[in-house]
């Protein structure tokens, strides 16, 4: 099997059922299985997002892809770094045929570019990919608010890019909420290493971009942060990145997806670390302890009047878990959800020949919506089929039924295409 050709065939067909059928038909191919595992596992990193210039081997003596996969060990374990790592990767790529070298590029960049995620792979090979753990907040529901124990904590809801700073063995790496490496080119790393000390741990928070003392708007800031997610950010832009943090979890418990330490203790540990080390570019999230829901609502309204997005209400007894938590609840002035792009439409009139709209669905396919608003002229000119199967953040007014009786959204507007997320929201989480 030519694995590069196989992956390209998956990328060319937007149907999720087609991808699943093809993977099932080739589930006994051990090399394909290993390629997918190496590319999708968030806990296997190679720290070389940029592919060096190389000349693939076009002779009959090219090494096999299977024989060269073990050579990735030195990159994964950081036995070679810097220029030595670049040289090592170049030698690997130049030993392979053009097609196999392209597969190796996909592995190194942690992106199969085939339109399926770890959850799809795990449907074919159960447990193949250790999916990246993340604790999410629950959208507002009165029945959940009624179960919050007071006093509780209200925190300002940030409007940047969710991230983890993972400190292990005195080294720091940054990951997005789907486990992809965020390259900040040395910015912020030492701050987190100093705070962690000798403890392997994971800091949870949000990245923002600042110009002077002003936080850039979401579209501009996340445009810069998406470059960090792709490994193309410049030194100058990386230096503008700041971090706001709100949680800390021991690494070993983060990996298992469960930490029973109450949030009050985790937050106190985090606050003490920041107070002791006083990092220049890492901030503690704005917070207030409230005695009842009325006090929380007053703060929520005040933040909205200031142009902020909203608040997170957190139960101080809440544990950390790899799921949508019922002890942390979002209060937002506008509704927002993340949907999968399943198709595109060409524009008409002045947008003829350009992107007109995207067709989106919830993870379970229950909610379907056409989104034609919110795109810039540059996006309409430059975006095409490559965005199919990506996740789009959508702002909307309310959930409705369309003329065909299907679940949809009223007045949908695209906010951004998210490179930091691979799974859409389910209909049960969209209000």
249 and 145 belong to one structural domain:
yes
Q: Work out the average pLDDT over 343-369.
A: 95
Residue that is written with structure tokens 């608010």 in the block: 145
For β-strands 214-215 and 258-259, DSSP reports them as unpaired
- Burial label for 67, CB within 10 Å (0-12, 13-18, 19+), is exposed
Q: What is the dihedral sign for C-alpha 152, 156, 157, 161?
A: negative
233 and 302 belong to one structural domain:
yes
End-to-end CA separation in angstroms for the chain? 45
Name the residue range of residue 283's domain: 136-332
pLDDT score of 259 more than 90 = yes
pLDDT at res. 306: 92
148 and 247 belong to one structural domain:
yes
Q: Which of 20-24, 289-293, 420-424, 426-430 has the lowest mean pLDDT?
A: 420-424
Which CATH number does the domain housing residue 186 bear? 3.30.470.30
Which CATH number does the domain housing residue 360 bear? 2.40.50.140
223 and 109 belong to one structural domain:
no
Which residues are part of the catalytic machinery? Answer: 157
Q: Work out the average pLDDT over 381-386.
A: 92
Q: Work out the average pLDDT over 151-179.
A: 95
Q: Distance between CA 164 and CA 1 in Å, rounded?
A: 38
Q: Work out the average pLDDT over 418-426.
A: 90
Task: Please give the mean pLDDT across all residues of the chain.
Answer: 95
285 and 352 belong to one structural domain:
no
Q: Work out the average pLDDT over 373-398.
A: 93
pLDDT score of 245 more than 90 = yes
Q: What is the dihedral sign for C-alpha 278, 280, 281, 284?
A: positive
pTM of the model: 0.85
pLDDT score of 97 more than 90 = yes
Whether residue 160 contacts residue 218, with contact meaning beta carbons closer than 8 Å, is answered with yes
DSSP SS3 for 126: coil
300 and 425 belong to one structural domain:
no
pLDDT at res. 404: 85
In the chain, pLDDT over 90 holds for what percent of residues? 87
Residue that is written with structure tokens 């979002």 in the block: 330
From 303, 332, 361, the end of a domain falls on 332
212 and 98 belong to one structural domain:
no
Contacts of residue 329, Cβ cutoff 8 Å, sequence gap at least 6? 137, 138, 139, 140, 141, 144, 145, 148, 312, 313, 314
145 and 287 belong to one structural domain:
yes
Number of residues in the chain:
431
Q: Distance between CA 180 and CA 40 in Å, rounded?
A: 9
Question: With bands split at pLDDT 50, 70 and 90, how would you rate the model's confidence at 52?
Answer: very high
Question: With bands split at pLDDT 50, 70 and 90, how would you rate the model's confidence at 419?
Answer: confident
Domain count, the chain: 3
308-318 pLDDT, tens digit per residue, is 989 999 999 99
From 97, 124, 151, the end of a domain falls on 124
Q: Distance between CA 346 and CA 359 in Å, rounded?
A: 11
Q: Which of 216-220, 249-253, 263-267, 293-297 has the lowest mean pLDDT?
A: 216-220
Name the H helices within 115-256: 118-124, 142-145, 189-196, 218-230, 235-238, 251-256
Written as six digits, the tokens of 128 are 């193949």
Residue that is written with structure tokens 């074919």 in the block: 124
74 and 28 belong to one structural domain:
yes
pLDDT score of 146 more than 90 = yes
From 302, 332, 362, the end of a domain falls on 332
Q: Is the peptide bond before 151 cis (omega within 30 degrees of 0)?
A: yes
Would residue 261 count as lying in a domain? yes
Would residue 131 count as lying in a domain? no
Would residue 393 count as lying in a domain? yes
DSSP SS3 for 226: helix
pLDDT score of 231 more than 90 = no
Q: Distance between CA 395 and CA 415 in Å, rounded?
A: 7
232 and 370 belong to one structural domain:
no
pLDDT at res. 14: 79
117 and 174 belong to one structural domain:
no
90 and 222 belong to one structural domain:
no
Q: Work out the average pLDDT over 27-50.
A: 94
115-140 pLDDT, tens digit per residue, is 888 989 999 999 999 989 999 999 99
């Amino acid at each position: 099997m030519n694995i590069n050709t196989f992956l390209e065939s998956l990328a060319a067909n937007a149907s999720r059922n087609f991808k699943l059928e093809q993977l099932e038909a080739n589930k006994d191919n051990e090399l394909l299985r290993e390629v997918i595992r190496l590319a999708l596992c968030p806990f296997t990193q190679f720290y070389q997002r940029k592919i060096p210039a190389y000349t693939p081997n076009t002779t009959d003596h090219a090494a096999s892809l299977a024989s060269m996969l073990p050579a990735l060990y030195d990159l994964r374990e950081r036995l070679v770094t810097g220029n030595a790592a670049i040289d090592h990767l170049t030698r690997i790529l130049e030993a392979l045929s053009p097609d196999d070298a392209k597969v190796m590029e996909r592995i190194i960049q942690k992106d199969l570019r085939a339109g399926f995620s770890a959850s799809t792979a795990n449907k074919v090979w159960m447990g193949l990919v250790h999916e990246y753990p993340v604790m999410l907040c629950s959208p507002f529901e009165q029945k959940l608010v009624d179960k919050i124990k007071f006093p509780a904590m209200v925190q300002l809801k940030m409007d940047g890019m969710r991230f983890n700073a993972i400190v292990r063995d005195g080294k720091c790496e940054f990951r997005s909420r789907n486990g992809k490496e965020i390259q900040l080119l040395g910015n912020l790393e030492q701050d987190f290493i100093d705070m962690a000390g000798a403890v392997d741990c994971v800091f949870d928070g949000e990245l923002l971009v600042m110009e002077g003392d002003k936080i850039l708007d979401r579209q501009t800031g996340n445009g810069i942060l998406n470059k960090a997610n792709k490994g193309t950010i410049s030194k100058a832009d990386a230096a503008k990145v700041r971090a706001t943090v709100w949680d800390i979890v021991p690494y070993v418990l983060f990996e298992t997806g469960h930490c029973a330490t109450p949030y009050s203790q985790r937050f106190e540990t985090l606050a003490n670390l920041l107070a002791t080390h006083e990092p220049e570019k890492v901030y503690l999230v704005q917070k207030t302890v409230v005695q009842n829901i009325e006090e929380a609502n007053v703060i929520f309204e005040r933040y909205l009047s200031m142009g902020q997005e909203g608040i997170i209400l957190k139960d101080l007894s809440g544990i950390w878990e790899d799921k949508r938590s019922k002890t942390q609840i979002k209060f937002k002035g506008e509704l927002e959800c993340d949907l999968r792009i399943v198709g595109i439409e060409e524009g008409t009139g002045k947008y003829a020949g350009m992107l007109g709209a995207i067709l989106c669905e919830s993870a379970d396919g229950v909610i379907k919506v056409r989104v034609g608003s919110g795109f810039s002229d540059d996006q309409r000119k430059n975006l095409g089929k490559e965005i199919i199967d990506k996740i789009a953040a959508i702002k909307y007014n309310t959930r409705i039924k369309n003329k065909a009786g299907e679940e949809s959204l009223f007045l949908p507007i695209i906010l951004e295409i998210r490179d930091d997320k691979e799974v859409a929201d389910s209909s049960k989480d969209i209000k």
